[in-house]
Amino acid sequence: MTQHGKNYSDALKRIDREELHSIPVAVGLVKELATAKFDETVEFAGRLGIDPRKAEQLIRGTLSLPAGSGRTVRVAVFAAGEQADQAREAGADVVGADDLVAKVAEGFLDFDIAIATPDLMGQVGTLGRTMGPRGLMPNPKTGTVTMEVGKAVAEFKAGRVEYRTDKVGNVHVSVGKVSFSNEDLIKNVKAVVDELFKVKPASAKGRYLLSAALSSTMGPGIKLDPSLVREVDELAVASA
C-alpha cells in the first residue's frame, strides 16, 4: 500500500476528489496543491472507451506539446554513417550502431527515447527483452524508426512526447511542469486531448473519453469533466 506524506494528506482535505472540473480550473488546482521542493511534473491520465483486446483499437503515437515538456530528454540513436552524423549534430546523447546494440544488450539503458534507422531494426529488434518492458523500443508509429534521425532528435528534445494505451485502455502523458504558466499547461493539456480524439479508432463505439484527471508528481489527482475537455477556447486560455 502506497504511503503518502503529510503534505499530500493536507492537499486532499482541500479538495472534493469526486468533483469534476474544466481544464483551466484543474490546472489551477494542480499548481496550488503542488508542495514539493522540486519542480513537479504535471501528468494527464485518461481512460478511453476502447477494447484493448483488439489490435486495431490500441493507440500509440507522439505529439509535440505547444509549450514543450519541461523535461531534459536523453535520446539514443541507432544509426551509422550520415544518419549518425545528423543525430550527433541534432544533440543526441548517445549514437551508435553495432556498438550501441552490444552496449544496450549488456544493460545500458541511460536514455529516455530510442530512435533507429530502418536498416538497423533487425539488430535493435534483438533487444526486445531489454528495451521492451521499459517502453523504449523504436516504433514506426511513434516516428522513432526513421531515416530523418536528426529531425526526430530535435523534435523529442524540443518537447515531443510519446503516448500509448495500456492493457486496460489507460493513457498517461506528461504535459509540463508545475513551474509552467497556467496558459502553457492548458495549451499542452488541450493538445493531448485533441490528439487522442484525432486518433480515435473507427471501430471504437460508445463514449470515448470515459474519465480523465490531472496531477502533479506528489499531488492528488484532480478529475476533469470529460464533457468539457474539448471546450477550452482562446478566452479560457487567456484568462487563466
Percent pLDDT > 70 in the chain is 89
Query: pLDDT-based confidence at 239, cuts 50/70/90?
Result: very low
Whole-angstrom Cα distance, residue 174 to residue 94? 23
- Domains of the chain, first to last: 6-69+160-238 (3.30.190.20), 75-158 (3.40.50.790)
Give the phi and the psi of residue 50 in degrees, each rounded to 5. -125, 165
Q: Do 27 and 177 form a contact (C-beta atoms < 8 A)?
A: no
Residue 227 has pLDDT above 90, yes or no: no
The pLDDT tens digits of the residues spanning 108-151 come to: 999 999 999 999 999 999 999 999 988 899 999 889 999 999 99
Give the count of alpha carbons within 13 A of 166, CB side only. 11
Give the phi and the psi of residue 205 in degrees, each rounded to 5. -110, 160
Whole-angstrom Cα distance, residue 79 to residue 92? 11
Query: pLDDT-based confidence at 231, cuts 50/70/90?
Result: low
What is the grid cell recorded at 110?
Answer: 541511460
Whole-angstrom Cα distance, residue 20 to residue 36? 24
The pLDDT tens digits of the residues spanning 59-90 come to: 989 999 999 999 889 999 999 999 999 999 99
Mean pLDDT of 207-216: 95
pLDDT of residue 200: 94
Whole-angstrom Cα distance, residue 212 to residue 197? 13
Across the beta sheet with 75-78, the strand order is 94-96, 75-78, 113-116
Which of 39, 40, 156, 143 is closest to 90 using CA atoms? 156
Query: pLDDT-based confidence at 16, cuts 50/70/90?
Result: low
What is the grid cell recorded at 204?
Answer: 471504437
Residues 84, 85, 87, 91, CA torsion sign? positive
Query: pLDDT-based confidence at 8, cuts 50/70/90?
Result: low
Query: pLDDT-based confidence at 18, cuts 50/70/90?
Result: confident
Query: pLDDT-based confidence at 100, cuts 50/70/90?
Result: very high
Whole-angstrom Cα distance, residue 163 to residue 192? 9
